[in-house]
Amino acid sequence: EAGVTQFPSHSVIEKGQTVTLRCDPISGHDNLYWYRRVMGKEIKFLLHFVKESKQDESGMPNNRFLAERTGGTYSTLKVQPAELEDSGVYFCASSQFWNTGELFFGEGSRLTVL
């Protein structure tokens, strides 16, 4: 069974540019989460999808971030326009159940904004 996959693994862009990160969860997992880890610090929650619906987007930092999960399968996280402080590793995770059970993480997408 394929795990959670994320693309790209690394992206380097300049301030003001746009980047779109993609996450393919484990097949059948309705719950999909986005997190960001900056400079080896905390794993900061960004948002949670249940199927195609945003269950909780309270962690999204501002309106430069847009997450979608059309059709309830893969998800994208777009940052537009990117700022220096957006740099970090963006992790996607999926789970079968809501609020319980194992979260399966992808390898992460490292974003560097210059």
Partner 1 sequence: GQQVMQIPQYQHVQEGEDFTTYCNSSTTLSNIQWYKQRPGGHPVFLIQLVKSGEVKKQKRLTFQFGEAKKNSSLHITATQTTDVGTYFCAGPGMRFGAGTRLTVKP
Give residues in contact with partner 1 (CB under 8 A). 33, 35, 40-45, 48, 56, 58, 91, 93, 95, 99-108
Helix (DSSP H) and strand (DSSP E) numbers for the chain: 0, 11
Tokens of 60: 């999204």
Distance CA 22, CA 7 (A): 5
Q: Minimum distance from CB of 105 to partner 1 (Å)?
A: 4
Toward partner 1, which CB reaches closer, 61 or 101? 101
CA end-to-end span of the chain, whole Å? 37
Q: Minimum distance from CB of 108 to partner 1 (Å)?
A: 5
Q: Minimum distance from CB of 106 to partner 1 (Å)?
A: 6
